[in-house]
Structure 1
Amino acid sequence: MRIRRWPVYLVLIFFTLLLGLASRIYAPWLPSWIAAYAGDTLWALLIFWLLGLLRPTWPSERVAIIALGFAFAIEISQLYQAPWINAIRNTTLGSLVLGHSFLWSDLVCYSVGVLMGYLLEKSGLLLAKS
């Protein structure tokens, strides 16, 4: 059985979070396609790492399916625009977690981000034998 090494995942989470925030902060200086898509791709990758950290014995496939389902659910929730949830979305944390408006391209970004995490895990570099 393979198990996730939590120190490795903490580092992955930290650097993915840092890169995701940097992609938003430095967007004016990045190529337009990176500025447009990197943040959403890294957000989904971050969800994959967090779920893997919380469930170290789950198979990579389960982590990927649940992470992708969560990301898609958040994106679909953006179709709901009630004042109470928009007030949450207008905070920094709410904006980063919940987003603001539905975009089909975000679903592609989430798929790429989760696929990146899945492929990195399946490469065997991140998991230890128990």
Structure 2
Amino acid sequence: MSGETTVRARLRSRAAPAAAAVVTVAAGLSVRSVLGGDLAKYAGDALYALLIFWLVLVVAPRTRAWIATIVAFGVSAAVELFQLTGVPAELGAHSALARLVLGTTFNAPDLPFYAVGAASGWALHRIVRAVREGRRRRPPARHPR
């Protein structure tokens, strides 16, 4: 494979998770305008972990989905636990971006929703992969004459 072909293959392998990440960010930013209260908050938590799942696959596209799931949950939980230090709250007081990325206050009920988001990434990844493989294996349709 030539260098140019290798670069194209690498970009192509990152395109789907990158597009999924963009859609996930859009969903996360708009969820509060569609949903309200706890439903919006916990949907946002799940989408946060889902975004991390996609970003893992953008950075390392050959990563197995179950590993990306564990990393997504682990990073999300680590950020949640980091909120216990008060550092994210202090940073969030000065930066909207820090508030979006790190949150401000620890909330233990967020943890299961991170697991839901990470597991959703795994499930979506498996579904897309199965559909792609099904298309490759399916013989051409025969039209009656």
Match of 1:73 in 2: 78
The aligned residue for residue 19 of structure 1 is 27
1:1-130 equivalence runs, <5 A: 5-24=13-32, 26=33, 30-82=35-87, 85-90=88-93, 91-123=95-127, 124-125=129-130
Check conservation: 2:89, 2:103, Cα contact below 8 A.
no
Does the C-alpha gap of structure 1 residues 48 and 113 become closer, same or farther in structure 2, counting only changes over 3 Å? same
CA contact (8 A) 2:89 2:99 kept: no
Uncovered stretches (5+) of structure 2, i.e. residues with no partner? 1-9, 137-145
The change in CA–CA distance for 1:94 and 1:125 in structure 2 (over 3 A counts) is farther
Tell me which protein shows more helix as a share of its residues.
2
> Given that residues 61 and 118 in structure 1 are in contact (C-alpha distance below 8 angstroms), is that contact kept between their aligned partners in structure 2?
yes
| Uncovered stretches (5+) of structure 1, i.e. residues with no partner | none
The CA deviation at 1:105 is: 1.4
Larger radius of gyration: 2
Q: Kindly indicate which of the two structures has a greater share of residues assigned to strand.
A: 1
The Cα of 1:31 is off from its aligned counterpart by 4.3
The offset of 1:34, in angstroms, is 2.6
RMSD: 2.4
CA contact (8 A) 1:8 1:126 kept: no
Q: Any runs of at least 4 consecutive aligned residues in structure 1 with deviations exceeding 3 A, and if so which? A: 125-129
Q: Larger RCO: Structure 1 or Structure 2 (Cα < 8 Å, ≥ 6 residues apart)?
A: 1
Identity %: 33
TM-score by length of 2: 0.74
Partners of 1:73 and 1:119 lie apart in 2 by 23
